[in-house]
């Protein structure tokens, strides 16, 4: 009799909850989220400035054979305010983490789990906190996202099996209802996806804090909805007991400046371990020379690499990157030590390349990787470039995190290549300096030349996730882009390890390029402030103002249409400034116009930018306003 009453009570509670919803709001109430049960399924909706941006979307998982999120009771068990600031790097130096966090217990008569949500003024994120024994098998995640119909969505495309291995696709735009059918590889897309909302607002869907889990892909449907998808498909994957999923993130912005400057992704990552990162003096952003892209005679010989180190010293760059081939040296470890000593004498540090297949052996706590890292550290190396992970399965994510941990123990910085996009890991593991997961300039070397429109779109899509190792600046193989455009990529894309593609001899020996040397030497790897100016558009032009120390830079990346752009210097504040200008030569894309002019803050002037062109202006204050 008691059992019957309990079941009846349980059904009554489910009915009552299915008729109501919990409303969660951000600190300034600009973002609201409704949590409710619809036809037995746990669901949510998202509103931005009172207008719905995500329609009813399902929540839940299938773990250990049980479907979680169906026929459930929901009980709020915690609510707390998050309000903190911390130092970050990339777009600006100070991150603001302000949100309201809600925790709910979601359960049936057989099982339960916790669902945690954070509502920010610029977005919403949620994750699942699971209970289990020694390990939990995740067979499927039932999470969906249901955006507007018939709105533009930006996605990357690479029409072959590499698309979701390297995340190195061309950035393109389609309508939300067509996303499921635009790719010849099928309906599964990789995040980040960026939507253009009505009233010139923006929404991005991605994940944050990817640890102990498989990377999230998104299966697009004909109704514009998206389903979470994994590499492992029906085979599933195992996570530790009491496992936590990554955050599923909906980033919301009133304009492109807010989209680019959001700290939401890093906010959702834990702070670094104080013991592991007690001393962080060995972690330093910088610029690197790199011999691989030039494909020059003498590649990966001791003499050539020493010459590149000499050029790094002349440029004032902090690093040289030894790519594939250094391990073929006759005395591999002795020669590497010699190179490092040569570099250190010139105040240059060394990164070395390594194929992940030669490190990814989990046996004995990845002892093979640990031994290799011990050897490169003993030779004097400061960082390692790990390449060709080629995926985002749970096992590969585990490898990435282990590499960051083992490298941190040895004070080694990390550059990941052949991998998925970042999810804010560098907050937790600040020795991750950069990662690929982007269609960068190495494609020009392969005669798959990047377009100006792709580069413009990058600023507002992949690059908002930070750590974008595009390897910019290739004057000797620019494709259809101009030299001014190539210069601007080094200032517009954000990578705390900024690896320049061009052979440094080209910079010093080509008389048409040497006028750009002052800017190339000054080029910052990280910024104190970034402002996206109103002339910008994802589809056609990126116009940025960025500050490093006391110096400001005005940067233009242009797409396929020539244009006139107004330089409005209100961002400078006050005073008299010297402007060092690099502009397109409208008659010759492989030439630039260089000049200096003195301007007063707030002054405007217009410049002409060619198709696939660009511009960079450096502002140095000469006199403060009295």
The CATH number of whichever domain residue 238 belongs to comes to 2.70.98.10
Backbone torsion region of residue 334, taken as left when φ is above 0, otherwise alpha when ψ lies between -120 and 50, otherwise beta = alpha
d(CA 210, CA 239): 12
- 544 domain residue, yes or no: yes
Which range marks the domain in which residue 614 is found? 438-466+476-495+516-626
Structure tokens at 397: 């994510």
Longest Cα separation, the chain: 93
- Write out pLDDT tens, residues 413-439: 999 999 999 999 999 999 999 999 999
- 64 domain residue, yes or no: yes
- 169 domain residue, yes or no: yes
What's the whole-number mean pLDDT along residues 257-284?
97
Write down the residue that tokens 């405007």 correspond to: 604
Lowest mean pLDDT segment, chosen from 267-276, 308-317, 615-624: 615-624
d(CA 436, CA 469): 5
Whether 1 shows a pLDDT value over 70: the answer reads no
Whether 7 shows a pLDDT value over 60: the answer reads no
Please tell me the predicted confidence (pLDDT) of residue 132.
74
d(CA 288, CA 526): 13
- 352 domain residue, yes or no: no
Q: What is the DSSP letter of 244?
A: B
Provide the percentage of residues in the chain whose pLDDT is more than 70. 96
- Write out pLDDT tens, residues 69-122: 999 999 999 999 999 999 999 999 999 999 999 999 998 767 889 999 999 999
- Write out pLDDT tens, residues 374-397: 999 999 999 999 999 999 999 999
Peptide bond into 192 cis (omega under 30): yes
What's the whole-number mean pLDDT along residues 46-60?
98
User: For residues 553 and 546, is the Cβ–Cβ distance under 8 A?
Assistant: yes
What's the whole-number mean pLDDT along residues 147-172?
96
Whether 15 shows a pLDDT value over 70: the answer reads no
pTM beyond 0.75: the answer is yes
538: domain CATH number is 3.20.20.70
Please tell me the predicted confidence (pLDDT) of residue 4.
33
Q: Which of 192, 200, 214 is nearest to 264 (CA)?
A: 192
Whether 9 shows a pLDDT value over 60: the answer reads no
Please tell me the predicted confidence (pLDDT) of residue 110.
75
d(CA 422, CA 416): 10
Q: Which residues pair with 75 in a beta bridge?
A: 105
- 227 domain residue, yes or no: yes
d(CA 541, CA 54): 28
Please tell me the predicted confidence (pLDDT) of residue 133.
66
User: For residues 176 and 205, is the Cβ–Cβ distance under 8 A?
Assistant: no
Q: Which of 570, 569, 383, 565 is nearest to 488 (CA)?
A: 565
- 304 domain residue, yes or no: no
Please tell me the predicted confidence (pLDDT) of residue 626.
52
d(CA 221, CA 133): 35
d(CA 18, CA 68): 16
Provide the percentage of residues in the chain whose pLDDT is more than 90. 92
Please tell me the predicted confidence (pLDDT) of residue 109.
66
Please tell me the predicted confidence (pLDDT) of residue 374.
98
Structural domains of the chain, count = 2
- Write out pLDDT tens, residues 513-572: 999 999 999 999 999 999 999 999 999 999 999 999 999 999 999 999 999 999 999 999
To which H or E segment does residue 492 belong? helix 483-492
| Boundary (domain end) residue, out of 232, 267, 302 | 267
- Write out pLDDT tens, residues 310-362: 999 999 999 999 999 999 999 999 999 999 999 999 999 999 999 999 999 99
| Boundary (domain end) residue, out of 222, 242, 267 | 267
- 58 domain residue, yes or no: yes
Please tell me the predicted confidence (pLDDT) of residue 134.
75
Write down the residue that tokens 């504040």 correspond to: 573
- 335 domain residue, yes or no: no
- Write out pLDDT tens, residues 568-604: 999 998 999 999 999 999 999 999 999 999 999 999 9
To which H or E segment does residue 128 belong? strand 123-129
Backbone torsion region of residue 53, taken as left when φ is above 0, otherwise alpha when ψ lies between -120 and 50, otherwise beta = alpha
Strand pairing of 217-220 and 135-141? unpaired
Whether 289 shows a pLDDT value over 80: the answer reads yes
| Boundary (domain end) residue, out of 221, 239, 267 | 267
- Write out pLDDT tens, residues 296-305: 888 999 999 9
């Amino acid at each position: 009799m008691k059992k019957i009453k309990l079941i009846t009570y349980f059904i009554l509670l489910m009915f009552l909850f299915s008729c109501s919803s919990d409303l969660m709001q951000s600190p300034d109430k600009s973002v609201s989220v409704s949590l409710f049960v619809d036809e037995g399924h746990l669901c949510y909706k998202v509103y931005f400035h009172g207008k719905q941006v995500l329609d009813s979307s399902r929540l839940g998982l299938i773990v250990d054979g049980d479907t979680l999120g169906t026929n459930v009771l929901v009980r709020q068990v915690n609510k707390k305010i998050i309000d903190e600031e911390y130092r970050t790097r990339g777009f600006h130096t100070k991150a603001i983490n302000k949100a309201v966090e809600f925790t709910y217990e979601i359960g049936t008569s057989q099982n339960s789990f916790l669902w945690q949500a954070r509502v920010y003024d610029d977005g919403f994120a949620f994750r699942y906190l699971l209970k289990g024994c020694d390990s939990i098998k995740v067979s499927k995640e039932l999470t969906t996202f249901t955006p507007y119909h018939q709105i533009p969505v930006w996605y990357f495309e690479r029409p072959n099996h590499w698309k979701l291995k390297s995340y190195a696709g061309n950035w393109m735009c389609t309508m939300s209802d067509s996303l499921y059918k635009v790719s010849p590889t099928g309906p599964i897309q990789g995040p980040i996806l960026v939507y253009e909302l009505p009233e010139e607002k923006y929404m991005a869907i991605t994940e944050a804090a990817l640890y102990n889990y498989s990377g999230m892909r998104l299966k697009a449907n004909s109704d514009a909805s998206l389903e979470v998808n994994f590499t492992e498909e029906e085979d599933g994957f195992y996570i530790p007991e009491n496992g936590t999923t990554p955050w599923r993130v909906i980033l919301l912005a009133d304009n492109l400046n807010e989209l680019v400057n959001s700290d939401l992704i890093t906010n959702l990552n834990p702070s670094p371990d104080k013991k592991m990162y007690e001393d962080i003096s060995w972690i330093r952003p910088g610029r690197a020379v790199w011999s691989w892209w030039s494909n020059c005679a003498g590649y990966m010989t001791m003499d050539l690499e020493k010459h590149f180190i000499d050029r790094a010293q002349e440029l004032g760059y902090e690093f040289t990157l030894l790519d594939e081939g250094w391990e073929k040296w006759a005395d591999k470890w002795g020669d590497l030590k010699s190179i490092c000593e040569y570099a250190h004498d010139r105040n240059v540090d060394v990164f070395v390349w390594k194929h992940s297949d030669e490190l990814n052996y989990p046996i004995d706590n990845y002892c093979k990787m640990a031994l290799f890292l011990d050897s490169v550290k003993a030779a004097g190396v400061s960082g390692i470039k790990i390449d060709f992970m080629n995926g985002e399965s749970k096992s590969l994510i585990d490898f990435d995190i282990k590499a960051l941990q083992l490298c941190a123990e040895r004070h080694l910085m990390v550059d990941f290549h052949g991998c998925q996009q970042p999810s804010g890991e560098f907050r937790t593991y600040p020795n991750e300096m950069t990662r690929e997961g982007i269609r960068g300039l190495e494609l020009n070397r392969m005669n798959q030349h990047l377009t100006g429109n792709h580069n413009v779109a990058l600023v507002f899509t992949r690059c908002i996730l930070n750590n974008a190792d595009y390897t910019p600046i290739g004057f000797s193989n620019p494709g259809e882009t101009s030299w001014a455009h190539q210069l601007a990529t080094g200032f517009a894309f954000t990578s705390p390890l900024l690896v320049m593609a061009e052979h440094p001899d080209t910079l010093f020996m080509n008389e048409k390029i040497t006028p750009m040397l002052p800017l190339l030497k000054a080029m910052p790897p990280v910024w104190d402030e970034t402002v996206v100016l109103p002339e910008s558009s994802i589809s056609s032009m990126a116009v940025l103002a960025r500050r490093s120390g006391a110096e400001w830079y005005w940067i233009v990346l242009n797409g396929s249409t020539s244009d006139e752009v107004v330089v409005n210097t209100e961002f400078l504040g006050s005073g008299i400034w010297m402007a060092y200008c690099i502009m397109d030569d409208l008659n010759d894309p492989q030439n630039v116009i260089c000049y200096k002019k003195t301007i007063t803050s707030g002054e405007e002037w217009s410049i002409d930018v060619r198709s696939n062109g660009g511009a960079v202006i450096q502002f140095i204050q000469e006199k403060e306003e009295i």
